[in-house]
Amino acid sequence: MSPAPDLFASLAAHDSVVYFSYRPADKQVLYVSAAYEQELGGHIDKVNEELPGWLAVLHPDDRPYLAECIDFAATGRLVEDMNIRLINPDGTLRWLCMSAIGYVPEGSAAADGLLIGGHVRDTTRSRNVLEVARRYQSKKNSMLEILSHDLASPLVLAQQMADYIAERVESLHDARLNAMISEMRTACQEGVTLIRDFVDQEFLDSSNVDVHLERMDLVERMGILLENYQHREHAAGHHFYFETSHPSIYADIDENKFMQVMNNLLGNALKFTPDGGHLSVTVIQEPAHVLITVVDTGIGIPAELQPGLFERFTRARRPGLRGEKTTGLGMSIIKTIVELHQGNIWLESAENQGTTFFIELPTPKMYFKVSPAFGKNAWL
């Protein structure tokens, strides 16, 4: 006899991953590994008594998601890395990552013999570390966009002052003075260019990594992003608003890339919106998709420039109101990233009336393909 079964049994007994087998027909857990007690704090001999308690503390937004994933697994296909949340008594979250697949043991009837097998691991610690990193990343990217405008403004003002001084002293024919003023203008322009190049390079670097989609609450993530901008309203000289149609709205996104898209759109809005202007982001849940809008009260985009705006090295590029340069790559990268999310992006704009960008993302892939062995969500 092959030693493989004994080896796997030994692995399951010592692994921190919880392995399980569940029979939907009578809602019974047939097997759970020792890690159930070690990692989740349960009791193996009472697992079926404890199961309703686990379901009771499941995050409300994750309950239908998990049920539909399990229904999909019941069709015999593997569902990997379902990230679900449990609500602790103190209101904090406990994260579990689950993978599952359905199978029917040989000789069993499909209706009654279907089993769901898989594994669960507690990822709370790593998710908390990841959340801190995400918040830091979001804050850093937002601050880079805001600071690029904060720092560019005095440099542009100094450059304008240098131009004015140059006109006033032209009649003096002082070669040394003229050279100093020219040096001042050059230094200011190089400073503005250096600041923008640094921010643009951050965006380019983030776009060169493969897309990793994960189910995310857009309201939560956008809220963190806009909060960074709202905290800097006074320094940025603009007013920021955030509205949403529902308390939680989910989509499958690569958070780093998609938040960089939003940062870039907000950065462009800042670039072409005079001080005191308004910028708003809305997230709306619609039947078949999620609609995100970024609206500004800036100078708008001339009609003749709009058709080629998303082209690589577009001729529609213009310097910002504070002299910020543009490479013509930003909007093309934004379009590419949105399309990698199976989404669409378009705009509406008129000169001196502001600009609105629309992003349409598909709703998360919910698994409605139900196994004939049991009805949808019957495992609950």
CATH architecture of 4-122: 2-Layer Sandwich (3.30)
Phi-psi domain of 364 (left: phi exceeds 0; alpha: psi -120 through 50; beta: other): beta
Strand order in the sheet with 289-296: 239-244, 278-285, 289-296, 355-362, 344-349
Chain region(s) in the chain for CATH 3.30.450.20? 4-122
Residue 181: predicted pLDDT: 76
Helix (H) or strand (E) holding 22: strand 18-23
Chain region(s) in the chain for CATH 3.30.565.10? 128-362
For the domain bounded by 128-362, which CATH number is listed?
A: 3.30.565.10
305: helix, coil or strand? helix
Residue 363: predicted pLDDT: 85
Helices 330-340 and 255-271: crossing angle in degrees, nearest 10, is: 150
Distance CA 221, CA 283 (A): 11
pLDDT tens, the chain, 380 aa long = 444 555 556 665 667 899 999 988 888 999 999 899 988 899 999 999 999 999 999 999 999 888 888 888 888 889 888 999 999 999 999 999 999 999 887 766 665 678 999 999 999 999 888 888 777 777 766 666 666 666 666 666 676 677 778 777 777 777 877 777 777 777 766 666 666 565 555 555 555 557 788 899 999 999 988 888 887 665 557 888 999 999 999 999 988 889 888 988 988 888 888 888 899 999 999 988 999 999 999 999 888 888 888 876 555 556 555 555 565 457 888 888 899 899 999 999 988 899 999 999 998 765 333 333 334 444 44
Residue 313: other Cβ atoms inside 10 A: 10
Query: pTM for this structure?
Result: 0.69
What Rg do the C-alpha atoms of the chain give, in angstroms? 28
Helices 255-271 and 175-206: crossing angle in degrees, nearest 10, is: 150
